[in-house]
């Protein structure tokens, strides 16, 4: 075998290209290569000695060629996720979530450093307080509210209200007016939240599993109540009403905007009732403005009186006029103070109502557990009040006619007759008051008269059911506008005044 291979190989080796043939073939191949050169990307750049040396040096290392474009966009993306994505996610977290700490100790702290003025700081503390409470509501709705979290929320409420108070006190020394304003705004938030919590109490209790122990509502509500007692009693008259107006204006604008944005997904009834409350607030503001105009006028008259009294202070003439003017001034100053207090009180109610409405509209949990009727009772307009009095008067008329037709037992006669007479007299007084525009008086008379006549009739018929029927009748007939209105108290009084008759 070896022999055969060797012999064959020997012969085969003899078969060769001649040198000339080979050279020619090589040239042909090279010229073919030259006519068909490699595309640029396949060409390997000839390397200099230093480049080769570098290659040797860097050989043991891995070299990653990463396009700087990708690196940049990757960095941008990473930064976006870190500085926008995570905080945004954190904003929606609740106590117990991973990102909750970030929300409270990063996001909110950053925002509080952005609140430059002390006033803005107080506002931000108020918002943080509201956030804590709404988180607690969400958790309680989901059945995730543990005692620890509850305590945490209560602590947070205390912390934020303390911080707000500190800021207000510090502010009071330099800028008392804004401090009082901040105080009023903060108090309105607290009041709104306290009302919501009070209304919500049973709901929260039902959700939490511990039945006997003080639960969410109580622990947190206590914290809020505590915060309310802390409020400094600054003299509210130091605030110019204009600033309060501005505050209310801002809040109501926000409330209107909110209403616009949520009106698409609320029922018509709810939308109507919110609209009505906004209208009420608007009317309160108008009333306050009228009051203020009146006060301004008053101020001018006082000043003129003062000026008049200043003319002849040196003369020896008996100072009767001066005394008079002083008395006038003091009395009018008292009136002014009284009026200003009323004005501020009115504005505060308007502010608190606005806050409540805002809470109601922004916090879905509040909306689920509290009705707007309970949260912000309706305020009747003068027209509605007049209508109500007129209606009551008509009812008195009807009841009187009914009593006339009934046979009065001698035993009851001495009770019934004077009562009816008094009722009729009061009804007449009410009518008179209504005519002369004294609405408040007319209301009182009409209410009393109605109570008397209703009781008389009840005695006559001998049924205790009757007043209820009547009250039901009345409240349904005025249901659209009078829930929680004076009318209900009327019927309540009707039942309570019964023994007197």
Q: Which residues bind another protein (CB under 8 A)?
A: 1, 3-12, 15-17, 21-22, 24-26, 28-30, 32-33, 36-39, 41-44
Question: Minimum distance between the CB of residue 46 and another protein, rounded to whole angstroms?
Answer: 8
Question: Minimum distance between the CB of residue 50 and another protein, rounded to whole angstroms?
Answer: 17
Q: Which residues contact 181 (CB under 8 A, 6 or more apart)?
A: 119, 239, 243, 244, 247
End-to-end, the C-alpha distance of the chain in Å comes to 145
Two tokens, residue 475: 């409240």
Closer residue to another protein (CB): 26 or 250: 26
Question: Minimum distance between the CB of residue 67 and another protein, rounded to whole angstroms?
Answer: 21
Under 8 Å between Cβ of 354 and 248: yes
Question: Minimum distance between the CB of residue 53 and another protein, rounded to whole angstroms?
Answer: 16
Distance CA(458)–CA(462), nearest Å, equals: 6
Q: Which residues contact 152 (CB under 8 A, 6 or more apart)?
A: 95
Question: Minimum distance between the CB of residue 52 and another protein, rounded to whole angstroms?
Answer: 11
Question: Minimum distance between the CB of residue 47 and another protein, rounded to whole angstroms?
Answer: 9
Closer residue to another protein (CB): 46 or 68: 46
Return the DSSP state at 237: G
Closer residue to another protein (CB): 22 or 394: 22
Question: Minimum distance between the CB of residue 30 and another protein, rounded to whole angstroms?
Answer: 8
Place of tokens 């009061």: 426
Question: Minimum distance between the CB of residue 86 and another protein, rounded to whole angstroms?
Answer: 45
Give the Cβ contact number of residue 254 at 10 Å: 15
Give the Cβ contact number of residue 433 at 10 Å: 19
The number of helix segments (H) and strand segments (E) in the chain equals 22, 0
Closer residue to another protein (CB): 3 or 405: 3
Closer residue to another protein (CB): 44 or 465: 44
- In total, the chain counts a number of residues equal to 501
Question: Minimum distance between the CB of residue 54 and another protein, rounded to whole angstroms?
Answer: 15
Question: Minimum distance between the CB of residue 77 and another protein, rounded to whole angstroms?
Answer: 34
Closer residue to another protein (CB): 8 or 114: 8
Cα dihedral sign, 281-285-291-295: positive
Two tokens, residue 450: 């109605």
Distance CA(209)–CA(145), nearest Å, equals: 9
Closer residue to another protein (CB): 31 or 151: 31
Under 8 Å between Cβ of 183 and 232: yes
Return the DSSP state at 437: T
Give the Cβ contact number of residue 366 at 10 Å: 23
Two tokens, residue 104: 């409270």
CA distances from 2 to 8, 11, 12 (A): 10, 14, 15
Phi, psi of 371 (to 5 degrees): -95, 150
Closer residue to another protein (CB): 49 or 435: 49
Place of tokens 């200003």: 340
Closer residue to another protein (CB): 10 or 49: 10
Closer residue to another protein (CB): 35 or 61: 35
Going by C-alpha positions, the residue among 128, 131, 149 that lies closest to residue 140 is 149
């Amino acid at each position: 075998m070896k022999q055969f291979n060797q012999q064959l190989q020997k012969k085969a080796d003899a078969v060769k290209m001649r040198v000339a043939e080979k050279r020619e073939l090589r040239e042909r191949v090279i010229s073919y290569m030259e006519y068909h050169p490699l595309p640029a990307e396949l060409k390997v750049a000839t390397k200099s000695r230093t480049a080769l040396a570098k290659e040797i040096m860097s050989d043991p290392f891995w070299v990653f060629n990463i396009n700087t474009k990708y690196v940049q966009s990757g960095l941008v993306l990473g930064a976006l996720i870190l500085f926008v994505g995570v905080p945004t996610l954190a904003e929606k977290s609740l106590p117990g979530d991973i990102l909750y700490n970030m929300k409270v100790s990063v996001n909110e702290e950053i925002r509080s450093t952005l609140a430059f003025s002390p006033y803005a700081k107080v506002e931000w503390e108020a918002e943080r307080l509201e956030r804590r409470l709404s988180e607690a509501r969400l958790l309680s709705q989901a059945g995730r509210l543990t005692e620890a979290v509850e305590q945490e929320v209560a602590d947070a409420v205390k912390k934020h209200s303390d911080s707000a108070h500190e800021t207000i006190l510090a502010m009071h020394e330099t800028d008392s007016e804004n401090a009082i304003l901040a105080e009023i705004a903060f108090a309105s938030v607290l009041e709104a939240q306290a009302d919501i919590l009070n209304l919500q109490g049973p709901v929260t209790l039902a959700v939490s599993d511990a039945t006997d122990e003080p639960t969410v509502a109580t622990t947190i509500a206590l914290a809020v109540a505590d915060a309310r007692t802390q409020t400094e009693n600054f003299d509210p008259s130091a605030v110019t009403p204009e600033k309060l107006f501005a505050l209310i204006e801002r809040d109501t604008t926000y409330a209107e905007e909110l209403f616009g944005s949520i009106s698409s997904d609320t029922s018509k009834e709810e939308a109507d009732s919110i609209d009505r409350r906004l209208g009420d607030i608007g009317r309160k503001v108008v009333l306050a403005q009228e009051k203020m105009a009146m006060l301004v006028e008053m101020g001018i008259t006082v000043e003129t009186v003062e000026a008049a009294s200043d003319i002849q202070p040196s003369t020896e003439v008996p100072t009767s006029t001066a005394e008079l003017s002083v008395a006038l001034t003091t009395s009018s100053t008292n009136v002014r103070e009284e009026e200003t207090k009323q004005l501020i009180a009115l504005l505060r109610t308007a502010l608190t109502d606005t806050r409540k409405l805002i809470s109601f509209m922004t916090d879905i949990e509040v909306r689920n557990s509290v009705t707007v009727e309970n949260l912000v009772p309706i305020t009747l307009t003068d027209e509605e009040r007049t209508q109500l009095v007129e209606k009551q008067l008509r009812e008195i008329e009807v009841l009187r006619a009914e009593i006339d037709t009934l046979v009065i037992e001698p035993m009851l006669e001495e009770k019934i007759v004077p009562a009816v007479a008094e009722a009729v007299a009061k009804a007449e007084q009410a009518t008179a008051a209504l005519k002369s525009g004294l609405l408040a008086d007319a209301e009182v008379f009409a209410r009393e008269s109605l109570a008397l006549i209703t009781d008389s009739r009840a005695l006559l018929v001998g049924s205790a059911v009757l007043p209820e029927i009547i009250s039901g009748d009345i409240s349904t007939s005025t249901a659209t506008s009078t829930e929680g209105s004076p009318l209900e108290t009327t019927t309540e009084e009707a039942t309570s005044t019964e023994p007197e008759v």
